[in-house]
Amino acid sequence: MLLPCQPAARSRPLVARTPIGPKRPACRSCVGLALLIALLSLTGDGRAASQPTTRYASRIVETKSGQIRGILQELNSRHLDPVEVFRGIPYAAPPVGDLRFRAPISPIPWNSVKLADTFGAVCPQNYPDIANDTAALLQMPLGRYQQLKKMIAFLTNQSEDCLFLNLYIPGSGSRGLEAPYAVMVYVHGESFEWGSGNLYDGSVLASAGHVIVITLNYRLGILGFLRTRPFPDRTSGSGGNLALKDITMALRWVRENIGAFGGDPTRITIMGHDTGAALVNLLLLAPYSKGLFHRVVLSSGSALSPWASVHDPNDLRTKIGEQIGCSTEGDEDIADCLRGVPLEALMDVQLPEIRFVPRVGPGLPVDQNNPDPGMDMERASDAFIKVPLILGVSTTESNLDFNANDIQFGFEEDHRNRILRTFIRNAYVYHLNEIFSAVRNEYTDWDKPVLHPIIIRDSTMEALSDGHTVAPLMRIAFYHARRGAKTYFYHFNHQSKDSGYLQRLGSVRGEDIPYIFGLPLVAGGAFFPRNYSRQDQGVAEAVLTFFTNFAKTGNPNEPHKIESVDYGTPKEKTRFRGLTWEQYETGSQQYLTIALKPKMKSHYRGHKMAVWLNLIPQLHRPGDDDVSMRHHHFRERGDHYYAGPVRDEWYTPLPLTGTTRTSASSTTACSTSTGDESLAEDITPILDDSEDDAELLQRLASRHYYSTTTALAITVGVGCVLLVLNMLIFAGIYYQRDRDKKRAAMDCRPNGQESLPLTTRSSIKSAENPKPAQEPPPSYTTLARSPSLQEQQQQFAQEVQDNGEQSRKEMRHGTTIHKDPVPPKPPARTTSSLSTSNTTNTIKKRVQIQEISV
């Protein structure tokens, strides 16, 4: 699908061949060809992109600034209804002339009906220079370069009069079944220096999800973030962060006027991606935005990331003033001087470059009237706790930190060390050597003695992703869920085959945007991939349903269940059907993996998060007062030890507020990304709490910690019952075996003692197969050594010979022979027929021996 702002593709003229033979009416062939083309355009399932048709809407909407009329936009899908679009609506007065470097004011009213059919100008910006493709690929990946080539076409119309927003409303308007509609406001990212809400088409999201989608522009670069007076002076002039004031003014306009468009002012969801997510996070904490929105979505960014705030607002003010020619001595405000400078001169200012941190961006505190703008996320007011929150990341959040050569071929360990050393020096202050060693140790595969450059590249990208994006987001999720607030976490792990990035990297930063906006349902957008598969469409529809449900109820699982999928294959219908997105809790830490095979998991990158959320905060401590700052510096001082510009070394420790100086140890890099003492005081309380943060973060990062929820209690109870049952079974088996042993011992008792009768089957078997029975054991007190078999034979022969001689002597002398009485037989065992036969045979042998002896 082409975006509304995309130039229409040129159609090739049809050239009719000269007919051979009799002439026929040319109009007949033209009409037939036209009908064929029309028929082909009506067939299909909407996967092939076609030129959307637009026409003016019939209704005229009355706003507080004047009447306005939009357009109806047809979508190239048989599943989607038309959308009513209002483009280029001013939500504030043009910030030009005397309003430059001032907070926005209400828009200027108009008298006639305003046609909202074209996008407004984008704010002045310096987007990346990609005129030289060779030089550009040394700064960015190939996929990013190809995307920027398409984006820049929509960023050329620039003006300071740029505070516009765009509305995408379901075609049914206020007559729809779900009216009044929930509202989703998208704050664009990309950079603090360039970008626009015009780039993102919300028509598919509005039509498929039955919500109102709003995109907007806000001031960027110097015009949007420069602090014109020294910090913390709070007199007249700009306190910086005008971009946040612009977004706040847009939200106020939405609250006051969205009802006229069929929206619900009590169900406003604000979404942000990348740098836009950091701004939304700051608005969530700012007191002046209270009540302007009711749900929040943070994707791939937060206010705690090291790239979410400027390194030193005062230093930036000084360098800009020197280049423009405005005096920055003392506490003088340079706003009046800058208002007279041409726009081109402001845009040509060379800003200091420091890798991994922005050249210009939000400077804390957020509110010039509040000394603690960041608030304490752990002890924040109900404005932070009561707002339902979705947070999400992609697999690789650091793909834009590397150039095309690094991503394609990888790099060696030396280059990896330079990259990590650069990041740590620009993001932390204390014990840099120890933090570097901890990160390198965690992201090195020690099982392999030789590492391939591709493996080193993958581990380095993972380390940077975790360090500057994932871990700060996990910290926000923990603080939000800790007090029972509705928190949902997702990992976008799906990648289209037509993606311009390596499949090995998994999903990269920004690849979840087209799925949130539902662009795969209409064959993509202006600068997103166009060749989406049926599987991609099934994933997009599921993601769109989750996010629109959240905007409507604060629960991504209600009101619409994912029971069927109109676009995906039957596999996607089965995989997403009945899937429930569970809440993120501080114990279980469940999150949704969005992929072809979606699944609920727990403890995202648990062990690696333990390094960033538990170990590194313990290392990042200033130590005792007598510890020199040189102790915290890197031993490597030369530029060849780093992979990009680094900030100057710190020689004065940051004064920290709170109960102890080590309270900053539990903060992320953002707590030390400022070069001003007062800024450090403002940021430190964000994570200061009466409880032990180290213990809490250890619970957050531990893979083996489980909450004592009801489900876990039931599981433990069932386990205990099974344990007791097993113990009883084993006791019974042991008792039975003991009885069997006793029964066998009774069977072997000597004569005269009662023995247990054998079974009838055993008696019959013994009668059929008689076995010799053993004699009762003799008394061991009178038992002598038994002679061997040979000795018994010799003894028996000697006795026979002696008896023969004695008989002959008696016969000679006429002696009468008296036979000794036969000894009585031993009583037979009455209970066992097994011993009868053997006992009888033994008695017979003894009688024969005695008769022979006689």
Cα distances (angstroms) measured from residue 21 to each of 18, 33, 283, 709: 10, 20, 76, 87
Q: Which among 464-478, 550-564, 628-642 has the top mean pLDDT?
A: 464-478
Q: Are 618 and 607 in contact (CB under 8 A)?
A: no
pLDDT higher than 50, residue 232: yes
Per the structure block, which two tokens stand in for 34?
């036209």
E-assigned strand segments in 465-542: 487-492
What predicted TM-score, i.e. pTM, was given to this entire model?
0.73
How many whole angstroms from its chain centre is CA 459?
17
* pLDDT band per the 50, 70, 90 thresholds, residue 824: low
Lowest mean pLDDT among 199-208, 233-242, 840-849: 840-849
CB burial string 483-493: b at 16+ within 10 A, e below: eebbbbbbbbb
Q: Are 611 and 467 in contact (CB under 8 A)?
A: no
Per the structure block, which two tokens stand in for 495?
């990648």
pLDDT tens string 757-812 = 444 444 444 444 554 544 455 544 444 555 555 666 677 667 666 666 665 655 55
The one-letter amino acid at 636: E
Higher per-residue pLDDT: 149 or 239: 149
Helix-helix angle 242-257:275-285, to 10 degrees:
70
Query: CB count, 10 Å around CB of 822?
Result: 11
User: What is the rounded CA–CA span in Å between residue 540 and residue 558?
Assistant: 17
- Rg (Cα) of the chain, in Å, rounded? 44
Comparing CA positions, the residue from 553, 585, 590 lying closest to residue 480 is: 585
First to last CA, the chain: 126
- Residue 662: beta bridge partners? none
Beta strands 114-115 and 295-299, pairing class: unpaired
- Residue 600: beta bridge partners? 592
Residue 675: half-sphere exposure toward Cβ, Cα within 13 Å: 16
Q: Which among 243-247, 286-290, 669-673, 700-704 has the top mean pLDDT?
A: 243-247
The DSSP result for 138-185, as a single string, is TTS-HHHHHHHHHHGGGS--B-S---EEEEEEETTGGGSTTPSEEEEE
Taking residues 156-161, what's their average pLDDT?
A: 96
Query: CB count, 10 Å around CB of 84?
Result: 26
Taking residues 337-341, what's their average pLDDT?
A: 93
User: What is the rounded CA–CA span in Å between residue 151 and residue 129?
Assistant: 12
Q: Are 365 and 355 in contact (CB under 8 A)?
A: no
Q: What is the DSSP letter of 51?
A: P
pLDDT higher than 80, residue 378: no
User: What is the rounded CA–CA span in Å between residue 384 and residue 295?
Assistant: 10
User: What is the rounded CA–CA span in Å between residue 133 and residue 258?
Assistant: 44
Query: CB count, 10 Å around CB of 20?
Result: 5
Q: How many residues does this entry show for the chain?
A: 854
Three-state DSSP state, 679: helix
* pLDDT band per the 50, 70, 90 thresholds, residue 238: low
Per the structure block, which two tokens stand in for 504?
């090995």
Q: Are 664 and 685 in contact (CB under 8 A)?
A: no
Q: Mean pLDDT over all residues of the chain? A: 78
Residue ranges and CATH numbers for the domains of the chain are 56-124+159-387 (3.40.50.1820), 392-619 (3.40.50.1820)
Q: Are 59 and 69 in contact (CB under 8 A)?
A: yes
User: What is the rounded CA–CA span in Å between residue 26 and residue 17?
Assistant: 11
The DSSP result for 432-460, as a single string, is HHHHHHHHHHHTS-TT-SS--HHHHHHHH
Higher per-residue pLDDT: 658 or 433: 433
pLDDT tens string 349-366 = 998 899 999 999 998 644
Helix-helix angle 413-427:453-465, to 10 degrees:
10
pLDDT score of 95: 96
User: What is the rounded CA–CA span in Å between residue 723 and residue 283?
Assistant: 53
Beta strands 164-170 and 590-594, pairing class: unpaired
Q: Are 258 and 183 in contact (CB under 8 A)?
A: yes
Per the structure block, which two tokens stand in for 559?
């009101």
CB burial string 412-431: b at 16+ within 10 A, e below: eeebbbbbbbbbbbbbbbbb
pLDDT tens string 169-224 = 998 766 767 889 999 999 999 999 999 999 999 999 999 999 999 999 999 999 99
Higher per-residue pLDDT: 529 or 306: 306
User: What is the rounded CA–CA span in Å between residue 586 and residue 424?
Assistant: 28
Comparing CA positions, the residue from 691, 557, 694 lying closest to residue 620 is: 694
The one-letter amino acid at 698: Q
Q: At 728, which helix (H) or strand (E)?
A: helix 710-747
Q: What is the DSSP letter of 397?
A: S
User: What is the rounded CA–CA span in Å between residue 529 and residue 520?
Assistant: 8
Q: At 594, which helix (H) or strand (E)?
A: strand 590-594
Per the structure block, which two tokens stand in for 765?
């078997």
Q: Are 223 and 124 in contact (CB under 8 A)?
A: yes
Comparing CA positions, the residue from 423, 114, 70 lying closest to residue 261 is: 70
pLDDT score of 287: 85
How many whole angstroms from its chain centre is CA 782?
85
User: What is the rounded CA–CA span in Å between residue 726 and residue 661?
Assistant: 54
Lowest mean pLDDT among 156-160, 165-169, 494-498, 761-765: 761-765
Full 3-state SS string of 785-812: CCCCHHHHHHHHHHHHHHHHHHHHHHHH
Taking residues 304-333, what's their average pLDDT?
A: 86
pLDDT higher than 50, residue 754: no
Lowest mean pLDDT among 184-198, 231-245, 246-260, 482-496: 231-245
Comparing CA positions, the residue from 646, 698, 631 lying closest to residue 434 is: 631
* pLDDT band per the 50, 70, 90 thresholds, residue 82: very high
pLDDT tens string 573-616 = 567 778 899 999 999 999 999 999 999 999 999 999 999 999 99
Cα distances (angstroms) measured from residue 411 to each of 309, 404, 408, 504: 30, 12, 9, 16
Q: What is the DSSP letter of 401?
A: G
User: What is the rounded CA–CA span in Å between residue 496 and residue 254?
Assistant: 35
Q: Is the peptide bond before 232 cis (omega within 30 degrees of 0)?
A: yes
Q: What is the DSSP letter of 396?
A: B
Per the structure block, which two tokens stand in for 544?
């769109």
User: What is the rounded CA–CA span in Å between residue 93 and residue 725?
Assistant: 76
pLDDT score of 560: 75
